[in-house]
């Protein structure tokens, strides 16, 4: 899985992507191979 032709998906800064959309991170669950993040709309 790639973001574009050169950047693998796992190098993406998802925090920056979602905060630029006006969302804030409210929960993080880290697994052995992945991380699940929950965001919500800022007030």
**Per-residue model confidence as pLDDT tens digits over 1-43:** 666 677 666 666 777 878 888 899 999 999 998 888 899 998 7
Q: What is the DSSP letter of 28?
A: E
* pTM of structure: 0.56
- The pLDDT of residue 27: 94
The b/e string for 28-42 (b: 16+ C-beta within 10 A; e otherwise) is: eeeeeeeeeeebeee
H or E stretch at 14? helix 14-19
Distance between CA atoms of residues 27 and 29, nearest Å: 7
- The pLDDT of residue 21: 83
Domain limits, the chain: 14-41
Distance between CA atoms of residues 41 and 34, nearest Å: 23
- The pLDDT of residue 8: 67
């Amino acid at each position: 899985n790639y973001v574009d032709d050169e950047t693998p998906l796992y190098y993406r800064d998802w925090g920056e992507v979602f905060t630029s959309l006006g969302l804030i991170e409210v929960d993080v669950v880290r697994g052995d191979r992945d991380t699940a993040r929950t965001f919500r709309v800022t007030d």
